[in-house]
Amino acid sequence: MSRTQVGIVGAGPAGLTLGQLLHREGIDTVILERRSHEYVEARIRAGVLEHDVAELFDRAGVGGRMRREGLVHTGIELQSGRERHRIAFDELTGKSIVVYGQTEVVKDLIAARLESGRPLHFEVSDVSLHDLDGDRPRIRYAHGGGEQELECDVVAGCDGFHGVSRPSIPAGVLREHTREYPYGWLGILAGVAPSHDELIYAHTEQGFALLSMRSPELSRLYLQCAPDEDLGAWPDERIWAELQARLGTDGWTLHEGTILEKGVTPMRSFVVEPMQWGRLFLAGDAAHIVPPTGAKGLNLAIRDVHVLADALVAWYRDGRRALLDAYSETCLRRIWRAEHFSWWMTTMLHRSPTSDEFILRLQQAQLRQLQTSRAAATALAENYVGLDRV
């Protein structure tokens, strides 16, 4: 049996960031990941970092490449029909966002982890958690051809919605809150320079569309579709035609290029309460999911582990348990605010199969208010760049 202070299940952004934050405070961790190194560094996910999350990566010593290659945006554009209006984050909040793919964040964090020499084990299997309600929880797993057991002070469950951490909590402890949406996103990664220098969120009678980017050479674009959409029904020509129709405005052209990847993502909201039981602490998608419209998923995961890292540092340094005991309550305040923001953005911009003219007019009225009311625009901007306090 081996031993560490904090056992981290999952090497996504949450688990890797927690490991990096604790390493810089001299706290020992072991990170376990069921996927391969290559898979983890290749999976495409979110790409927008809140202002304070980007600064956290700087303080954690992993922000160098992000600052060199990330795209700093000081606003977004909202489109209603063929009319656009800019929400200026810098003018309304004094803050900005950084467009920097989660893939790149993970690469930076893995590089820092390997440089630190702290254990990071890929391709582990048969992970199970034990004695979580005692003072020496254990993680059993298979790795390198043999059975392993890791004794910890604390287990951090950063292994996503389908991981083993949340189901390891006894039945009846957790309350789950969920909302399924009647639409999904058909997303593409295209080898073409972005057609605009900021994100464009478009509400049209044909459905939602989003223009985003990953780099000066790569565009990321999305179309509202059915959650179970058949990708075979969407050849490249149809995708570009639909994007042109939904994002088009007078005097502006959407550049087309080679589609490198495409996929359909269903949308849901999910929150579990509490986010801790015994010595197990859940973080990121293991505890909550938001629809991607508000760009909150990755940011919430990083905010979770920042709270957890601060609580663990206080506990190890002077024995104070107050922050650890309050972990779930502290995180859930921000999570429910982000859930509401993401739900609001989603329902304002998407056309439900059951929408009628009444709902369409309400959506148009909301978008018009964002154009005419500084207070309304400021509320959107504050939530998008990340609230200081909740």
pLDDT digits (tens, 9 = 90+) for 117-164: 999 999 999 999 999 999 999 999 999 899 999 999 999 999 999 999
The predicted pLDDT at position 124 comes to 98
User: Could you tell me how far CA 25 lies from the centroid of its own chain?
Assistant: 25
Residue numbers annotated as active site: 73, 201, 292, 296, 384
Q: Is there a single domain that holds both residue 15 and residue 56?
A: yes
Which domain range does residue 60 map to?
2-72+97-177+268-344
Which residues contact residue 185 at a Cβ distance below 8 angstroms, ignoring those fewer than 6 apart? 210, 222, 223, 224, 225, 264, 265, 267, 292
Q: Is there a single domain that holds both residue 208 and residue 132?
A: no
For 172: left if phi > 0, alpha if psi spans -120 to 50, otherwise beta; the answer is: left
Mean pLDDT along residues 238-252:
94
Which residues contact residue 76 at a Cβ distance below 8 angstroms, ignoring those fewer than 6 apart? 86, 87, 89, 198, 199, 200, 201, 384
Report if residue 16 sits inside a domain: yes
Q: Is there a single domain that holds both residue 45 and residue 186?
A: no
Report if residue 155 sits inside a domain: yes
Spatial distance between the Cα atoms of 203 and 83, rounded to a whole number of angstroms = 10
Cα 332 to Cα 78, 132, 143, 291, distances in angstroms: 29, 21, 34, 17
Q: Is there a single domain that holds both residue 68 and residue 171?
A: yes
Report if residue 292 sits inside a domain: yes
Confidence check: pLDDT of 7 > 90: yes
Q: Is there a single domain that holds both residue 67 and residue 14?
A: yes
Mean pLDDT along residues 89-107:
96
Report if residue 363 sits inside a domain: yes
Q: Is there a single domain that holds both residue 313 and residue 279?
A: yes
What are the tens digits of pLDDT across the range 304-349? 999 999 999 999 999 999 999 999 999 999 999 999 999 999 999 9
Q: Is there a single domain that holds both residue 247 and residue 302?
A: no
Confidence check: pLDDT of 93 > 90: yes
CATH of the domain at 106: 3.50.50.60
Average pLDDT value for the chain? 96
As given in the structure block, the two tokens for residue 177 are 């809150």
What are the tens digits of pLDDT across the range 362-384? 999 999 999 999 999 999 999 99
What are residue 266's DSSP bridge partners? 184
Confidence check: pLDDT of 251 > 90: no
Q: Is there a single domain that holds both residue 292 and residue 321?
A: yes
3-class secondary-structure state, position 9: strand
Residue count of the chain, please give it.
390
Report if residue 137 sits inside a domain: yes
Q: Is there a single domain that holds both residue 309 and residue 359?
A: no
Question: In the structure, what pLDDT confidence band is assigned to residue 78 with cuts at 50, 70 and 90?
Answer: very high
Report if residue 90 sits inside a domain: no
Q: Is there a single domain that holds both residue 304 and residue 376?
A: no
Confidence check: pLDDT of 360 > 90: yes
The predicted pLDDT at position 1 comes to 85
pTM score: 0.96
Q: What are phi and psi of 160, to 5 degrees?
A: 80, 180
Tell me what percent of the residues of the chain surpass a pLDDT of 70. Answer: 100
Spatial distance between the Cα atoms of 333 and 151, rounded to a whole number of angstroms = 31
User: Could you tell me how far CA 242 lies from the centroid of its own chain?
Assistant: 27
CATH of the domain at 221: 3.30.9.10
Q: Which residue has the tokens 């509400």?
A: 203
Report if residue 80 sits inside a domain: no
Q: Is there a single domain that holds both residue 51 and residue 115?
A: yes
**20 C-beta neighbours (distance < 10 Å), count:** 23
Mean pLDDT along residues 217-228:
95
Report if residue 332 sits inside a domain: yes
The predicted pLDDT at position 45 comes to 74
| Count of structural domains within the chain | 2
Q: Is there a single domain that holds both residue 66 and residue 136?
A: yes
The predicted pLDDT at position 69 comes to 95
